[in-house]
Amino acid sequence: MDRSRFIKELTPRRNTGEQLRLHILWLLMIRVMLFTLLIAVTVVLQTKGRDIILPPPAVTMAFLSVVFIYSIGSAGLLQNKIRHLTRFGLIQLLSDAIFAALLVGGTGCSQSIFTPVFIFPVIAGGLSLSRTGGLIAAAASSILYGAILACEYLGYIPQFYAQTRYVPPTDYLSLTNVYSVYGITFFTIGLLSNLLAGRLRNTEEALSRTFVQFDRLNQLYKQVFDDIGTGIVTVDGRNRITSCNPAFARITGFAAADLVGLAFTSILPAAMLTETDQSRQVADLQRKDGSILRIRHTFAHLNLPPDPTLDEPGETQCKVITVQDVSLLEQMERQVRAAEKMAAIGELSAAIAHDFRNPIAAISGSAQLLKNVHAADSSPDPLSRANRHLTEIILRESARMEKTITDFLQFARPSALTPEWFDLRRLTEETIRQVKGRESCPLAAAMELDIPDHLDCWADRQLVQILLTHLLENSCAAAVQTSTWPVLIRARENQEGGRNAISIAVIDQGPGIAENIHEVIFTPFFSTKANCAGLGLSIVKQIAEQHSGNVKLQEPAGGQGCVLEVCLPLPALPDEY
């Protein structure tokens, strides 16, 4: 058996069977060592001139050989995982009692100096086996010792006693007295060993339960410490990092092993770890890659006992620091505040815009009446011509203001969805006819459709028409700038995010959109055109998102122009659930 296996065999077990097997193994080892040591010491003393009764060397060697062979054989059986360990242990205890009886019977019987060896199986039985183990061993030892004394009194003794200092007993009362003393001693030790073994077992069970609870608590602590998203750092009295969890390593960008031993202020110079301020503090942390991260940290004291291996003062003033990345949280808070502000402004603006509609309608109606009157007056008078010109200006600007108010109310107060199935090609053709009748798009403008016949779309028909109107007006305005036609409207059914969807793309050959404004073109009130409210693409995006879709600006195939694609998901079919 090598050293590692030997140490493993001596390691305490939680399992009762394994523990008993370990105890029996110890019993076999102690038996060999004890008998060998006792006989060796006796031989040494005898050679020194001490008058000690000892069997002839051949008998002694034979006895030791039997002990060795029997113990080795028992150990071999023990390695085979025998089923009845308690019965095997009792056999070993009775064997020890028999070996003790042979040793005592061969070294002087009642005059033997090895009589206390009977105590060994008694103690071993009380500690290793059940509560009756010590008593069984005590009873066996008493019976065997009584048999030795009876044989001695009757004269059945070894012949080599004649060559020793052995004196035969003449009084049975003295033998009875010796037997009584040792018998009571055996049973007393058996009872005490049983009592001690019971207390040891109770203590061991309590310790085992405590160990299991501590192990579970330790695993829970480690799991929380490793998996929590908040960074946790412990520092000593000098604010040097003693441990940190993976979350803190991720926040800082350093490896956990590289952080241990560093001063916490070297990682976060703005940290305030003072007694007067233990509230949550927000600071900027520079990560390993140089990027700045907004974090919030707080700390608390750890009342740890002093480390006996450290003589430096202040090691008990440890702290635990929690560090949390709040950059995203602060960004969300800013967005929420901005959204609330915009919502309030939007409500107020929508109310004002709604109130503007009535006077604009009155102005537009009055201007239309004046236009009809001036149309009947064909006088070349300069005043009449000026009146007609001013009336046309009033009508044009009133229409533009009416459109701006309509777009603003559409953006500020989006209507509820009423989705239905409709033919997308037919709706697009209707929208093209409406757009061609407006000032922004000449009647001769060329628009091409690339939409399959009977391509049905599931959406709010009116909102999709508004969406197409804004896209076509923007594309027509871009095409007018460069006089490059046609404007292409293409639609297909494809897969988007694992679902069937209708993709609508409006492609023009205009000057395109500068790359530096790609991120802001869908922002409300942003426009590159004069006399434009900048709500067209914002409304397009809003309508697409109302339908759980999206709108994307894509690169044109030829490198010129603009491609705006809207994706509108279709409802899932029953077999897709």
pLDDT tens profile 503-515: 999 999 888 888 8
Contact between residue 125 and residue 133 where contact means Cβ atoms under 8 Å apart: yes
Look at 27-31, 213-217, 320-324, 371-375 and tell me which has the smallest mean pLDDT. 371-375
- Beta strand segments in 142-185, E: none
Residue with tokens 């460069």: 482
Report the alpha-carbon distance of residue 475 to residue 486 in Å, rounded: 10
- Of the two residues 162 and 452, the one the predictor is more confident about is 452
Distance of CA 434 to CAs 118, 308, 445, 472, 495, Å?
Answer: 117, 89, 12, 10, 31
pLDDT at 359: 79
Domain count, the chain: 4
Q: Which of 23, 44, 184 is nearest to 118 (CA)?
A: 184
Residues 374 and 321 in one domain: no
Contact between residue 114 and residue 103 where contact means Cβ atoms under 8 Å apart: yes
240: DSSP letter = B
Q: Which one of 289, 305, 325 terminates a domain?
A: 325
> Residue 486, preceding bond cis, omega within 30 degrees?
yes
Residues 9 and 140 in one domain: yes
Contact between residue 251 and residue 233 where contact means Cβ atoms under 8 Å apart: no
- Residue 411 corresponds to which tokens in the numbers above? 């953006």
Q: Is residue 550 a part of any domain in this protein? A: yes
Q: Is residue 223 a part of any domain in this protein? A: no
Find the mean pLDDT for residues 394-416.
74
AA letter at 143: I
Q: Which one of 279, 295, 325 terminates a domain?
A: 325
Q: Show the 3-state SS of 329-396.
A: HHHHHHHHHHHHHHHHHHHHHHHHHHHHHHHHHHHHHHHHHHHHHHHHCCCCCHHHHHHHHHHHHHHH
- Of the two residues 378 and 204, the one the predictor is more confident about is 204
Residues 465 and 550 in one domain: yes
pLDDT exceeds 80 at position 332: yes
pLDDT at 328: 80
pLDDT at 375: 67
pLDDT tens per residue across span 413-429: 777 889 999 999 999 99
Q: Which one of 412, 440, 466 terminates a domain?
A: 412
Residues 377 and 520 in one domain: no
Q: Is residue 172 a part of any domain in this protein? A: yes
Domain boundaries, position 24: 3-209
Length of the chain (residues)? 577
Chain centroid to Cα 481, Å, comes to 58
Query: Which CATH number is 316's domain given?
Result: 3.30.450.20
Q: Which of 499, 498, 496, 509 is nearest to 552 (CA)?
A: 496
Helix (H, G, I), strand (E, B) or coil at 489: strand
Q: Is residue 222 a part of any domain in this protein? A: no
Q: Which of 291, 252, 250, 290 is nearest to 268 (CA)?
A: 252
Residues 249 and 370 in one domain: no
pLDDT tens per residue across span 71-97: 888 888 887 767 778 888 888 888 888
Q: Give counts: helices (H), strands (E), the chain.
A: 15, 12
pLDDT tens per residue across span 270-314: 776 665 555 557 888 888 888 888 888 888 887 766 665 555 554
Q: Is residue 221 a part of any domain in this protein? A: no
Query: Which CATH number is 516's domain given?
Result: 3.30.565.10
pLDDT at 419: 93
Residues 355 and 404 in one domain: yes
Residue with tokens 């800013």: 334
Find the mean pLDDT for residues 26-50.
79
Q: Is residue 520 a part of any domain in this protein? A: yes
pLDDT at 20: 77
Residues 55 and 84 in one domain: yes
Residues 182 and 240 in one domain: no
Residues 451 and 549 in one domain: yes
Q: Is residue 259 a part of any domain in this protein? A: yes
pLDDT at 549: 92
- Residue 99 corresponds to which tokens in the numbers above? 């070996």
Residues 473 and 369 in one domain: no
Helix (H, G, I), strand (E, B) or coil at 201: helix
Report the alpha-carbon distance of residue 572 to residue 567 in Å, rounded: 15
Contact between residue 141 and residue 189 where contact means Cβ atoms under 8 Å apart: no
Find the mean pLDDT for residues 19-23.
78
Residues 252 and 152 in one domain: no
Query: How many other C-beta atoms are found inside a 10 Å radius of the C-beta of residue 49?
Result: 7
- Of the two residues 197 and 422, the one the predictor is more confident about is 422
pLDDT at 557: 72
Half-sphere exposure of 177 (CA within 13 A, CB side): 5
Query: Which CATH number is 350's domain given?
Result: 1.10.287
Q: Furthest-apart CA pair in the chain: how many Å?
A: 171
Residues 165 and 293 in one domain: no
pLDDT at 467: 92
- Of the two residues 576 and 236, the one the predictor is more confident about is 236
Q: Is residue 215 a part of any domain in this protein? A: no
Query: How many other C-beta atoms are found inside a 10 Å radius of the C-beta of residue 543?
Result: 27
What pairs with residue 504 in β-bridges?
491, 566
